A and B are shown apart, each in its own frame.
Chain A
């Protein structure tokens, strides 16, 4: 007997693993197909086309920046204006929230008791309160409660605060901005090349390469020279207050006017998201081995160098995936603008849907837009993530 007899029989057809898997999947597939068919059958009774987006919008959009939309444009134009309003809100929000979050997260770990406690209170208060309330609060209880234009507050001649608009200094592009931007891009490439060369040199010779210093100096020099040569393509303006003409809004000029809606939404999103980012930053720093901080201390690095050269670059690797999540959250949370009527994409989409019906295609379009926005953010962060990881593994 060379074979060993296995007790029992081979499993029957219905007990074979393959058959079972196939059966379960078939049943599941039929179920999903039935649900989809049902939804499709229901949807066919509704208006599904996108033609309604071509007709005249018929409503104005109060908040515009670098767009030129009027009620006579098409609904599609209105929607695109809304998308642009979302994008500019989100981009500014991401930058400020990251800055605030890193600041608060590092402060949470400060050796200064007072700083650490204040950061803790900030995080606990803003993280555990609904964003909707925060946004309504900033809008109605702060920015709308500022004095009217006529009695507006002027801070250091730089910022003008009133309940119609906040005015901040701004650089307005003039003729020749395109040329200057191209030169700037060239300068950035040159600076990057210089930095690579200095770092390579530093690694070969062991002498300090001063790559960052040289790169920054080169960039600033090139930028300044080309700025002068292209005849100053930016016009820097600070808010000016003219004596009111019939008490009207035109009484102030210069600078960039930020509406209370934009300001309320931005501050709400930044304070809320910043609290979450702070916790991510703190967690990532604490996840590093303690030896990293101690070793850099032993090498004689000061607190600032220790943080920027040793701790943060390593913590960045742990930080990026959860940070990406927060960026996506901020993007999606910008839709809460609907509560204070800031015309971003969801509010404009809702208005169109209110005027014209066609709920199904409108919401499909809105969801597709958010998917694209999230996709762009996530892709950018993934690229950054890969870069950080590769640098770390060298």
Chain B
């Protein structure tokens, strides 16, 4: 009966279905109708005002004039080519990963096409259009090849290993391309590029530190556990901006005068501070994960003769990390957003560039345009990260075993 009713319902003309849907979801009661009317008025007004601003009253010339500043900061002219190979490598790896692990969903394809169209319409011009085209072609090519040829073949395992290795090498490659062979001093890195560099380096370092401190805190050795706990609590006690200021004013006096350590630049110090700060937060998340692994797992590992180190690295940690993926990615997103704080210590990251653009005489009163644009850049990356985390959870079967 129920199945038959559903079939009939599906065959009703669309306007009947629309009316039913609206009655169930918007006007189910008098109170709900009132609520719909009020939200429609308020939400409609906000949407209208925002659209009118974006399409009519905003003057996007300020972005046009400052695009380079926002993306690259004071990166020297003529060295921009250094940015492209890491970006290509990223797109290539992304395409391969999607082909190897993902499943083509129409929605993803639409998002990809739309964002590419957006990039071409508003973001790139001239030679950059060609260079970005190469990257997009690489992404589509590796996706198609790995999806159609590699997946299911006997090379799949190998391809997966190579891809994972590639991801691991991406950040060192980025740093090498920027600073290697007569490269650009880190004090000249800027714009969104600086946010990306600081965030990716700090993410990797913070994950390692976080796991170490979590293991330390969970250790049965009282001294190790107390010291780790103290470290975590002290770091978490003060705001990040306080630690950044400490890295700015106090840290130099405490660095040993060897290996040129005292002269390390502001960017490197920012990376250090971010790594140790977010490491403390990640440690707490990982500790939660460690506690979520049933004791039986440890006992079973001991029973089959695994030592303490291998029990931890092969049995406990993989399960612990898998259990806390949402919180972990949430913290990495926080780290990504927090990199904007380097603007406060006078580095020209994307936010610093925005402040510089706002201060230009010919663009007085254009705060909203610049800030909305930079916010949009940060938002896009953070949003993609949160979506990837959901995909990762699905791929690893969290909550299904």
Interface residues of A (CB under 8 A from B): 21, 24-25, 28-29, 32, 38-39, 42-43, 45-46, 110-115, 118, 124-125, 128-134, 136-137, 140-141, 145, 303, 332-333, 335-336, 338-339, 346, 350, 353, 359-360, 363, 366-367, 370-371, 374
Q: Cβ of B305: which chain A residues have Cβ within 8 Å of it? A: none
Q: Which of A25, A133, A339 contacts B374 (CB 8 A)?
A: A133
CB neighbours of B372 from chain A (8 A): 137
Q: Are A128 and B242 in contact (CB under 8 A)?
A: no
User: Looking across the interface, which residue of chain A has its beta carbon closest to that of B224?
Assistant: A28
Q: Which residues of A contact B343 (CB under 8 A)?
A: 132, 339
Q: How far is the CB of A306 from chain B (nearest CB, A)?
A: 13
What's the least CB distance linking A321 to chain B, in Å? 11
Contacts of A45 in B (CB 8 A): 253
Residue count of chain B within 8 Å CB distance of chain A: 53
B238 contacts A366, C-beta separation under 8 Å? yes
Inter-chain contact B43/A111, CB cutoff 8 Å: no
* Known A111-B28, A136-B371, A367-B242: A28·B227 in contact at CB below 8 Å: yes
For residue B101, give the distance in angstroms from its CB to the closest CB of chain A: 24
Interface of A is mostly: helix
A-contacting residues, B355-397, CB 8 Å:
355, 358, 365, 367-368, 371-372, 374-375, 378-379, 382-383, 386
Of all chain A residues, the one with the shortest Cβ separation from B341 is A132
Select from chain B the residue with minimum beta-carbon distance to A133.
B375
A21-B221, A339-B344 in contact; A128/B26 too (CB < 8 A)?
no
List of B residues within 8 angstroms of A124 by Cβ: 383
| Chain A residues in 8 Å Cβ range of B365 | 145
**Closest chain B residue to A132 by CB distance?**
B340
User: Complex Cα distance A129/B336, Å?
Assistant: 10
Query: Chain B, 196-228, contact with A by CB distance < 8 Å: what is the 0/1 string?
Result: 000000000000000000000000111110010
CB-contact partner of B253 in A42, A110, A332, under 8 A = A42
The docked-state distance in angstroms from the alpha carbon of A119 to that of B323 is: 28
Given A42-B253, A134-B375, A141-B367, verify A112-B25 contact (CB < 8 Å). yes
Contacts of A112 in B (CB 8 A): 25-26, 28, 32, 35-36, 39
Q: How far is the CB of B69 from chain A (nearest CB, A)?
A: 16
Residue among A112, A130, A336, A346 facing the most chain B CB atoms (10 A cut-off): A130
Are A114 and B238 within 8 A (Cβ)? no
Query: What 0/1 readout, one digit per residue, does chain B (241-263) give for beta carbons within 8 Å of chain A?
Result: 11001100110011010000000
* Interface residues of B, Cβ cutoff 8 Å to A: 25-26, 28, 31-32, 35-36, 39-40, 43, 220-224, 227, 234, 237-242, 245-246, 249-250, 253-254, 256, 333, 337-338, 340-341, 343-344, 351, 354-355, 358, 365, 367-368, 371-372, 374-375, 378-379, 382-383, 386
A24-B224, A359-B250 provided; 12 other pairs, C-beta below 8 A? A21-B220, A42-B253, A111-B25, A112-B35, A113-B26, A124-B383, A128-B379, A133-B351, A133-B378, A137-B368, A363-B245, A374-B237
Is B43 a contact partner of A118 (Cβ separation < 8 A)? yes
Question: How many Å from the CB of B341 to the closest CB on chain A?
Answer: 6
Question: Given the known A-B contacts A112-B32, A346-B242, are A371 and B221 also in contact in the complex, defined by CB atoms under 8 Å?
Answer: no
Kindly identify which residue among A25, A133, A303, A338 contacts B224, using a CB–CB cutoff of 8 Å. Answer: A25
Closest to B21 in A: A113
Chain A residue numbers with a CB within 8 Å of B367 are: 136-137, 140-141, 145
> What are the residues of chain A within 8 A of B36 when measuring CB–CB?
112, 114-115
Q: How far in angstroms is the closest Cβ of chain A from B27?
A: 9
Residues of B within 8 A of A130 (CB): 337-338, 340, 351, 375, 378
Please give, as numbers and ranges, the residues of chain B lying within 8 Å of A141 by CB-CB distance: 367-368, 371
Q: What is the distance, in angstroms, from B356's C-beta to the closest C-beta of chain A?
A: 13
Assembly CA distance A332 to B32 (angstroms): 39
A3 to chain B, nearest CB (A): 25
Given contacts A46-B253, A338-B344, A370-B238, contact A115 B35 (CB under 8 A): yes
**Interchain residue pairs with CB less than 8 A apart (19):** A28-B227, A38-B256, A45-B253, A112-B36, A112-B39, A113-B26, A128-B383, A129-B337, A129-B382, A130-B337, A133-B340, A137-B375, A145-B368, A303-B31, A335-B241, A353-B249, A359-B249, A363-B250, A370-B238
The verdict on A28 contacting B28 (CB below 8 Å), with A130-B340, A133-B371 known, is no
Cβ-closest chain A residue relative to B374: A133
**A352 vs chain B, min Cβ distance (A):** 12
User: How many Å lie between the Cα of A141 and that of B355 in the bound state?
Assistant: 12
Complex A-B, nearest 10 residue pairs according to Cβ-Cβ distance, in ascending order: A332-B239, A128-B382, A113-B25, A130-B340, A141-B367, A130-B337, A141-B368, A335-B239, A367-B238, A359-B249
Q: Are B378 and A129 in contact, with the CB atoms below 8 A?
A: yes
B239 lies within 8 A of A333 (CB): yes
Closest CB-CB distance, A178 to chain B, in whole Å? 36
Which residues of chain B have C-beta atoms less than 8 A from A111's C-beta? 25, 28, 32
Find out whether the CB atom of A370 lies under 8 angstroms from the CB atom of B32.
no
Which residues of chain A are within 8 angstroms of B25 by Cβ–Cβ distance? 111-113
Q: Which residue of A lies closest to B220 (CB)?
A: A21
What residue in chain B is nearest A374 (Cβ atoms)? B237
The distance in angstroms between the C-alpha atoms of A218 and B198, with both chains bound, is 59
| Residues of chain A with a CB closer than 8 A to B240's CB | 332
Interchain CB contact under 8 A, A25 and B351: no
Q: Tell me, rounded to whole Å, the shortest Cβ–Cβ distance linking B401 to chain A.
A: 20
- CA–CA, A24 to B340, complex, Å? 40
Task: Please judge, given known A-B contacts A112-B36, A137-B368, whether A129 and B245 are in contact too, CB under 8 Å.
Answer: no
Q: Provide the bound-state CA to CA distance between A348 and B379, in Å.
A: 31
Q: B209 to chain A: closest CB distance in Å?
A: 15
A124 vs B368: C-alpha distance in the bound complex, in angstroms? 20
